[in-house]
Amino acid sequence: MRDPESTGGEIIFALSSSPPPARVMILRLDGEGSMGLLNRCLSSGSLIEPRTPARVQLRWGQSDFPIPAVAVFWAKGKSWTGNEGVELFLPGGQPILEGVLGRFADEGARAATPGEFTRRAFLNGKIDLSRAESVATVIEAEDRTALAAARRVLSGELAQNIDALSRQLIDIIALLEAGLDFSEQEVESPSGEALEQLLQPAEDALDALLERRRWPRSGPGVPRVLLWGWPNAGKSSLLNILVGEDLAITSVEAGTTTDVVRGLLDNGDQALEILDLPGDREPGGEIERLALKRARDLICGDDAILWVVDGRRSVDSIKAEYQQLPEDIKDRCLKVLTHLDQRTHLHEEFGEAFWVSSSDGEGVNSLRSELFKTVQLDPGEIHSAALRFTRRQWHLLERCKESLQRARRGAMAGPELLVADLREAQQWLSEISGEATPEEVLDRIFAKFCLGK
Ligand SMILES: Nc1nc2c(ncn2[C@@H]2O[C@H](COP(=O)(O)OP(=O)(O)OP(=O)(O)O)[C@@H](O)[C@H]2O)c(=O)[nH]1
Ligand SMILES: [Mg+2]
């Protein structure tokens, strides 16, 4: 599928159990020739039969005693990764571990990188990316509910849903394109009713899938609050005054914050993490583009969002900015108007907004208590078939929803645009399944895994 070298051309090894001291260690070898490699390291016994445990004696140094071990060999196509592989169970101990791994390295194998086994399974088409990602969420599960939800994804429930939804979209696109390709005359956009019939089932399926995310806000980890808004809106100043520490640099220069700055807010009962992000703007260069993308990628999941606006701006300009906000932010942000100390007008249209001054602290206490209330909101019921989405998956599903909404809104502009929006929606889905996930995103996903997985 991608780089063949990374799918089994090289033999990799890792400890896939807890590190010593331990009674037993499990080592894994993966890649073409794993069995031959292990056989070269044995002083007695040999691995011949696949999937049959064999008692062996391992030679791991010139003058050292052989180590009794049990080895299992997996033939190509039959293992978790899809490659030829060996699992080795042997007595736990640091010198043994170092000695055996050193021996494997002498034989030409190399240490696996974090998540490399799972990555190989994905690259070999054994699992899709949604299942690969869930290996990490299963390991990280904090309680039984989290574990059950993660295991549903591992077993392929998300993958099946994404696949079905993707096929639905492809069918609609094909139908529309058939009209575009073969008609001699001008192609009309489908009527409102026809469009409804085409899109509604897909939208319903997506909503049903999003609904399965149901996750208690007060659940795993510390709830997060993101500060979003234009450059110079006063985000970093607000972070500093909220946490009572000068964590972020502030300046009259627009674009001061270029990376995510994190602060912790604690009221004794509960803690909140506050993330100050670079101001939302058109990126000027590559580094800025990456910084903004990173910030944008953070905005998903259950985080509360503070939409921070310089309160000295005109109502019309603030309203226009609000219209431009991504849908997933609009729905759930608390509006904050800064520069209360320099306020020149009232902005009654934003009656629900919080006015604050980072210069004298006015309004900051009530915003702080509102934040704690927001994250303590009723978590909602946990869906009985909840799926443990990663932030990335959740984000992509929301992007898909946005594209479908845009398709519906823009349908009257012509079938070409409609098809383009639907293609985009389908593209977001293929990033979840991994068919169209950029290499650097894969690197980031698998880098978070532990070694040996
Ligand atoms: N008087 C007054 N000045 C403020 C207030 N909030 C921010 N400022 C000033 O406005 C300027 C911009 O504030 P920042 O906090 O750096 O703005 P930002 O949104 O983090 O900007 P970027 O990092 O560029 O996106 C700074 O000079 C702050 O001192 C406020 O409530 N009152
Ligand atoms: Mg800033």
Residues with Cβ within 8 Å of 182's Cβ and at least 6 positions away in sequence, in order, are none
Reply yes or no: is the peptide bond before residue 283 cis, omega within 30 of 0. no
Is the CB of 292 within 6 Å of ligand 1?
A: no
The model's pLDDT over 248-289, given as tens digits with 9 standing for 90+, comes to 999 999 888 888 888 888 887 777 889 998 888 777 777 777
Of all residues in the chain, the percent with pLDDT exceeding 90 is 47
Question: Are the CB atoms for 58 and 42 separated by under 8 Å?
Answer: yes
- In three-state secondary structure terms, 259 is coil
Is the CB of 235 within 6 Å of ligand 1?
A: yes
Q: What is the spatial distance between Cα 435 and Cα 350, in angstroms, rounded to a whole number?
A: 43
Q: Which of 57, 39, 37 is nearest to 48 (CA)?
A: 39
Whose C-alpha lies nearest to ligand 1, atom 30? 339
Is the CB of 361 within 6 Å of ligand 1?
A: no
Is the CB of 216 within 6 Å of ligand 1?
A: no
Is the CB of 240 within 6 Å of ligand 1?
A: no
Over 70: is that where the pLDDT of 379 sits? no
Q: What is the spatial distance between Cα 124 and Cα 2, in angstroms, rounded to a whole number?
A: 9
The model's pLDDT over 43-67, given as tens digits with 9 standing for 90+, comes to 887 777 888 899 999 988 766 788 9
DSSP conformation class of 342: G
CA 247 to ligand 2 centroid distance, Å: 10
Whose C-alpha lies nearest to ligand 1, atom 13? 234
CB atoms within 10 A of CB 322: 15
Q: Which atom of ligand 1 is nearest to the CA of 233?
A: 19
The model's pLDDT over 297-356, given as tens digits with 9 standing for 90+, comes to 676 556 788 999 999 999 899 999 998 887 777 777 899 999 999 988 777 777 789 999
Q: Which two tokens stand for residue 221?
A: 């980890």
Mutate to test the pocket of ligand 1, among 230, 232, 259 (most ligand atoms within 8 A of CB): 232
Q: Is this prediction's pTM over 0.85?
A: no
CA 366 to ligand 2 centroid distance, Å: 22
CA 340 to ligand 2 centroid distance, Å: 18
The model's pLDDT over 161-209, given as tens digits with 9 standing for 90+, comes to 999 999 999 999 988 887 766 555 555 666 767 777 889 999 999 999 9
Q: What is the spatial distance between Cα 138 and Cα 151, in angstroms, rounded to a whole number?
A: 6
